[in-house]
Amino acid sequence: MITGSTGQLGQELRRQLCGGGAVLGRLPKELEGALLLCPDMGELDICDKMAVGRYIQRFMPNVVLHCAAMTNVDGCEEMPEQAEEVNGRAVEYIARACENVGAKLVFISTDYVFSGEKTVPYQVDDRCDPRTSYGRSKWLGEINARRNCSRTFIIRTAWLYGFYGNNFVKTILKKARQSDSIRVVSDQFGNPTNVEDLAYHILLLAATEKYGIYHCTGKGVCSWYEFASEIVKISGSHCKVEPCSSAEYPQKAKRPAYSALDHSTLAAVVGDRMRPWREALQDYLGKMEEIK
């Protein structure tokens, strides 16, 4: 069962599970020929405790890949109660229902659960100290997932871009077509993550019983400015990318200054085949239209 199956990660999981292929290798045999449940919002309101329990009890999934979330960071800052309900409390309902039917739960979390004040990549057991409504709501989701389902995987990721929906890469490409120059913040650092790579590792983990917290992002650290510059360069655009500070680009929610994630636990359990971010980006840009 995939919640949020129309989002960029949910659609990529569906594509790979339906035989669309994974660039990093074959999926585990346990997942071949999987029967998929992909309820949309009209079929299942994840914030309705009773509805969630009835749905999961009815269909008895083996694995629930919980991708549904309120991901607009600034929107979460404006509507913290809604963010807490969708990203936090709804996870409790899903986790309890999974526990009742013996299902595994995969909860997708974020680098925003950390303060962003470190200067080296965050370990899975580093202290969570979110500074935004989005981060706090996802941290609550982590707590509720682990507290209510004994078969839980928490997978933290960041700076995600995929073939479906909107993302930073598509935004930069659009702006580069419309302008001679664009400004991008250069004092926020993290790991750009190709959705193909993330989905593949999620499915590898879901085939195991090695429950716990994992970090899964592209390899290598860069700033948003460096990321945007590489997007423009690979695309062949002549648009000029200029750096600016976070102070020059104010947003409602404070972004982490540094939120790179360490992959050691992932590597120890299923291996770390996440590609260097430049390599994964080039591959993505080369087949955007083909996949769509």
Which tokens is 100 given? Answer: 């009742």
Name the catalytic one among 93, 134, 161, 258: 134
* Distance (Å, whole) CA 32 – CA 18: 8
- Reduced DSSP (H G I as helix, E B as strand, rest coil) percent helix, strand, coil of the chain, to 5: 45, 15, 40
H or E stretch at 223: strand 222-223
Angle at 61 between CA 56 and CA 66, to 5 degrees: 75
* Distance (Å, whole) CA 217 – CA 55: 32
Look up 249 and say whether it is catalytic.
no
Residues 6+ apart with CB under 8 A from 91: 66, 107, 140, 141, 144, 145
* Distance (Å, whole) CA 202 – CA 207: 9
Residue 127's beta-bridge partner residues?
none
Cα–Cα separations (whole angstroms), residue 194 to 8, 84, 182, 231, 265: 10, 27, 23, 13, 19
* Distance (Å, whole) CA 141 – CA 167: 23
Length of the chain: 292
Contact 100, 37 (CB under 8 A): no
| Residue with token string 């659609």 | 11
Residues 6+ apart with CB under 8 A from 158: 110, 111, 190, 191, 193, 217, 259, 261
Catalytic positions are: 134
